[in-house]
Structure 1
Amino acid sequence: MVEQDWWQKSTVYQVYPKSFKDTNGSGTGDIKGLTMKLDYLHDLGINIVWLQPVYISPQNDNGYDVADYCRINPEFGTMEDFDELMNELDKRGMVLMLDIVVNHSSTEHAWFKQARQSKVSPYRDYYIWKDPAADGGVPNNWQSKFGGSAWQYDELTGQYFLTLFDKTQADLNWENEQVRKEVVDLLRFWAEKGVKGFRMDVINLISKDQSFPEDDGSVSPGDGRRFYTDGPRVHEFIREMYDQVFGPYHLVTVGEMSSTTLAHCVRYSNPEENELSMTFNFHHLKVDYLNGQKWELMPYDFEELKRLLSEWQIGMNKGGGWNALFFNNHDQPRALSRFTNDTIFRSESAKLLATTLHGLQGTPYVYQGEEIGMPNPVWNDINELRDIESKNMYRILQEQGKKPDEALDIIRERSRDNSRTPMQWDTTVNAGFTSGTPWIKVDERYPEINVQSQLEDIDSIYNHYKKLIALRKELPIFTEGMYERLDECHPQVYAYARINEQETLIVMSNFSDQDVSFSIPDEFWNERMDSKVSELLIGNTMHTPELAQDTPLSPYASYMWIIR
């Protein structure tokens, strides 16, 4: 069992600053907008605010292409605005988790500008350069995660540089000790300003196989990822950051882990390893990828979703690791639209997802708008989207033979912009997000789906989240309890228990639009319910059912009981 720490009982709220709240009419959210809404987050029960990148950036990838790690992008405000945010968080007993992007930098960063001047530049080795292949083409067949080759040709020096993401995001060379020193310096800069946590973007990609081999496809999917994912020195590099920054400043850290494994995440997050506090993995958010491919659609595999959640609950606990719990973030379509019903049963569905997730072991993450049940927006045409990945894939899908409307249907389902539309605060113009023209469209359903209406409704999705967040702070079983799956492959129901020496928590959720019945296994029921009393902690319907071995569940019903 991992040693309890303050962040294990906390809930993190993820702010996509560009779409959170605009205070100056620019159409883009800003730091002052976050500061303005801190009381809202404090009332929800949030302890940790994760602020996505607000650094100097050309914004080719919405700030994940950093051109200066220690300066604030004027689009979002000033360093004085940032300092004010820090002070206001402190007044409320809240802390800031800052997004750090150090697998790559923007090609507009001063390091890269110097690096591309000549092969003998002192900054050349800050990045990964290779000569052309014998035929003059790319050095190997590694593919960018945004589509196309991962290599970009530099005319001036006649070499290619590696870009695992956008062509303007050049991968840093972590084999270079000076690069690692620069990263420690920038981390320390923000820690000295009072930042109490870091979310480390695709941090498990920083160590590459230094032979840079061709991927022969013998291990799926054959795009090179196996040669740079959880690479040979990745744990060493993360421990260096822990020893010099994370540990001395007592920081909470979460690593975004791309295509990772359970075994690696146990190592990353086990406190004895001195690496990270917790990890994000994305396996459970690929259960609707046909043949594992993001841009091929299929109905999601409910059994696989449950199996993966269970595997990571049991495996991380057994190995002493710690999960970051999430269904939503800025890179994913809204889970409400993806796994449940975002129309007729929107409220029940949003509460079901919340109850299911918050009952698991780990630290929950709430992505802005999730707590009011924001669904995917309705995209009318490709010109409404802003995401570079989506625009690239719209072109690539047509090059692969898709008709424009077929390509657009896929983009509608998969685009990262699904989660990036402006936060819906009230019923005024632009949902109260901005007095100007929004950088991306506001979902047309905001008059019905907004914060203002939910604050006034005791049965709202918002107040359901508020209660769940409070329960996690109050009851140790959420942190300590062992996980046991109960549903035995039920086609509509996900049910599990959390167990410690004193109590048992049971979570039961019907992920369908049908009335169903669920039976708790005899052995579990006889062992756990003998002479004990159950209490309904929270539910998402007007009913307040007592826990029974056989429980009827209405469409998208979800309940949580505690047995003492």
Structure 2
Amino acid sequence: MWWKHTVIYQVYPRSFQDSNADGIGDLEGIRQRLPYLKDLGVGTLWLSPFYKSPMKDFGYDVADYCDVDPVFGTLEDFDRLLKEAHGLGLRVLIDLVPNHTSDQHPWFLESRTSRDNPKRNWYIWKDPGPEGGPPNNWQSFFGGPAWTLDQRTGQYYLHLFLPEQPDLNWQNPEVREAIHEAMRFWLRRGVDGFRVDVLWLLAKDPLFRDEPGNPEWRPGHPDRLRHQHLFTEDQPETYAYVREMRQVLDEFSEPGQERVMVGEIYLPLHRLVRYYRAGCHLPFNFSLITEGLPDWRPENIARIVEAYESLLTPWDWPNWVLGNHDQPRLASRLGEAQARVAAMLLFTLRGTPTWYYGDELALPNGEIPPDRIQDPAALRQKDRTPAGYHSLGRDPERTPMPWDASPYAGFSTVEPWLPLNPDWPVRNVAVQERDPQSILQLVKRLIALRQEPGLLLGPYRTYRARGGIYAYLRGEGFLVALNFTDRERALELPQKGRVVLSTHLDREEAVGETLRLRPDEGVVVRLS
């Protein structure tokens, strides 16, 4: 099962490499940079959406599930990228966005023409509520009501995101089959699977009940947190929909060539693991992002890992992630020193790691002036929070990849769609390739070391530690020790061994019964 052995590397296509001098990354640019991914050591490329789209939410508003938006290139460009990736031994996952379409998708354009149009029931339409307003109190992730009135037909349609992103009606079997056919279109072209967007939101309460209030909500918090989401998230019908998608993947799977589903699911761990039973190979485990990074203490990280491991059956394969296109950058959350420690954590835990482009350079959050804001979540909610744009915007984690110190960092030959990170002349791939102790070199070493059988497939056990150290055993032969503090620490080892990798990249040595860790240092010890 290749997806147990791989490292997934997420590319946000707009920001990886521009090949046609329009300031926006594209598929041909990604193809040109495939050797970089191969050299890094990752095994799987995950592409965020590149579908035909009005770009109200940069591709997550799909106008055609079976075509490439001209800003990213053509179907032929995709086929060439896929062929070359496979030629290098890289798997390719693409985003599937099945919860909603663009309001410019032909399905929705038909749906809104009249109440009796055959496509009307492909989306979720409701009469106004008793007082003439929205049908219920459901809120959008991007602020404001999740309902928009269509003046022509006198009904509201549901959109859990932008008004330009109407939700599909997954109760309708015709909708499900249409999404399945879109999956088959890409599977026939040879993709290795899908990362499924907002998988836990597909089903909605059939009674459309008001959601109860959230007693912890305070003014200044996002609108959607006003309520507990008992009727718009993780509904029982969702599992059946996941099983159907898994059946489509299985149509194209062979031993060693499984087509894989990675599901975006922001849920507590005890609910997340239910998606394994439904057929999702890797329900995304965001607990290090949602619980770990805000509370970066060894006791808390150990608690998260132990809780997750305790919930998995022998048939479930864990996965971990520290960043993505919706979350602040790892280095801005922890600083570069602890970002190195976090990288060692991610690549030595049991399970499949997912890595976000640029985190191997310790890229910080970008600095986005108000006149350069692009993210609709920020623009739509800027007046609703005291911190304005930057408290809700996702632009800072989507800035262009800095490749070298040439103009526009080798990303483009013109001004990029978002500003480059402020320190790009000294923080870029070329500089870190030349530095034997850069975080880029550390990530390469970690990915290579992860292929050791004990680290790849061995069991996990927490090892006793205190004083700001998190330590654990992998398999029978490895101990990982991570110093979460800025002071020197010591750890008593179960037996002698040898340090085979340090986050400082300056240490490979035999160790006795006591392991000394420098400030902000993580080490992997091969036990004797």
TM-score over 0.5 for the pair:
yes
Aligned 8 A contact 1:337 1:375 in 2: yes
Q: Report the equivalent of 2:421.
A: 443
Matched, 1:263 2:270: yes
Aligned 8 A contact 1:372 1:450 in 2: yes
Matched, 1:392 2:380: yes
Measure, in 2, the Cα distance between the counterparts of 1:191 and 1:333. 32
Equivalent residue in structure 2 for 1:351, among 340, 347, 367: 340
Cα shift at 1:307: 4.6
Aligned 8 A contact 2:288 2:321 in 1: no
Q: Report the equivalent of 2:468.
A: 492
Gap change, CA 1:151 and 1:184, over 3 Å in 2: same
Question: What is the letter of the counterpart of residue 72 of structure 2?
Answer: F
Q: Report the equivalent of 1:507.
A: 480
Gap change, CA 1:357 and 1:288, over 3 Å in 2: closer
With structure 1 as the length reference, what TM-score do the two structures score? 0.86
Equivalent residue in structure 2 for 1:383, among 371, 390, 404: 371
The CA RMSD over aligned residues, in Å, is 2.2
Cα shift at 1:438: 0.8
Q: Report the equivalent of 2:521.
A: 557
Aligned 8 A contact 1:200 1:255 in 2: yes
Q: What is the SS of the residue equivalent to 1:138?
A: coil
Measure, in 1, the Cα distance between the counterparts of 2:67 and 2:437. 43
Aligned 8 A contact 1:21 1:33 in 2: yes
Q: Report the equivalent of 2:87.
A: 91
Superimposed CA distance per residue, residues 27-77 of structure 1 (whole angstroms, 9 cap, x where no aligned partner) = 000100000001111111121110110000111111111110001000000
Equivalent residue in structure 2 for 1:58, among 36, 54, 63: 54
Aligned 8 A contact 1:283 1:308 in 2: no
Question: What is the letter of the counterpart of residue 388 of structure 2?
Answer: A
Aligned 8 A contact 1:146 1:165 in 2: yes
Question: What is the letter of the counterpart of residue 44 of structure 1?
Answer: L
Quick check: 143-152 or 273-282, which moved more?
273-282
Aligned 8 A contact 1:323 1:362 in 2: yes
Matches for 1:473-552 after TM superposition, within 5 Å: 473=451, 475-486=452-463, 490=466, 492-498=468-474, 500=475, 503-512=476-485, 514-520=486-492, 525=493, 528-529=494-495, 533-541=496-504, 542-544=506-508, 546-547=510-511, 550-552=514-516
Matches for 1:280-429 after TM superposition, within 5 Å: 280-287=284-291, 300=295, 302=297, 305-307=300-302, 309-318=304-313, 320-338=315-333, 340-341=334-335, 346=336, 348-379=337-368, 381-397=369-385, 402=386, 406-407=387-388, 411=391, 415-429=393-407
Question: What is the letter of the counterpart of residue 407 of structure 1?
Answer: G
Measure, in 2, the Cα distance between the counterparts of 1:214 and 1:251. 38
Cα shift at 1:217: 2.3
Gap change, CA 1:312 and 1:479, over 3 Å in 2: farther
Q: What is the SS of the residue equivalent to 2:239?
A: helix
Matched, 1:195 2:201: no
Question: What is the letter of the counterpart of residue 108 of structure 2?
Answer: F
Give the % identical residues: 37
Aligned 8 A contact 1:163 1:170 in 2: yes
Cα shift at 1:518: 4.1
Aligned 8 A contact 1:266 1:322 in 2: no
Q: Report the equivalent of 2:282.
A: 278
Superimposed CA distance per residue, residues 371-397 of structure 1 (whole angstroms, 9 cap, x where no aligned partner) = 121111234x32232111122232211
Aligned 8 A contact 1:390 1:416 in 2: yes
Q: What is the SS of the residue equivalent to 1:86?
A: helix
Aligned residue-pair number: 515
Cα shift at 1:432: 0.7
Aligned 8 A contact 1:267 1:321 in 2: no
Q: Report the equivalent of 1:295.
A: none
Matched, 1:226 2:230: yes
Gap change, CA 1:135 and 1:365, over 3 Å in 2: same
Measure, in 1, the Cα distance between the counterparts of 2:226 and 2:148. 19
Q: What is the SS of the residue equivalent to 1:226?
A: coil
Q: What is the SS of the residue equivalent to 1:395?
A: coil
Matched, 1:36 2:32: yes
Aligned 8 A contact 1:325 1:365 in 2: yes
Measure, in 1, the Cα distance between the counterparts of 2:228 and 2:156. 16
Matched, 1:254 2:262: yes
Measure, in 2, the Cα distance between the counterparts of 1:266 and 1:332. 22
Tell me, which stretches of 5 or more residues in structure 2 are unaligned? Answer: 217-224
Measure, in 1, the Cα distance between the counterparts of 2:326 and 2:302. 23
Matches for 1:204-243 after TM superposition, within 5 Å: 204-217=200-213, 223=227, 225-243=229-247
Question: What is the letter of the counterpart of residue 396 of structure 2?
Answer: N
Question: What is the letter of the counterpart of residue 506 of structure 1?
Answer: L
Aligned 8 A contact 1:423 1:433 in 2: yes
Measure, in 1, the Cα distance between the counterparts of 2:464 and 2:382. 40
Q: What is the SS of the residue equivalent to 2:273?
A: helix
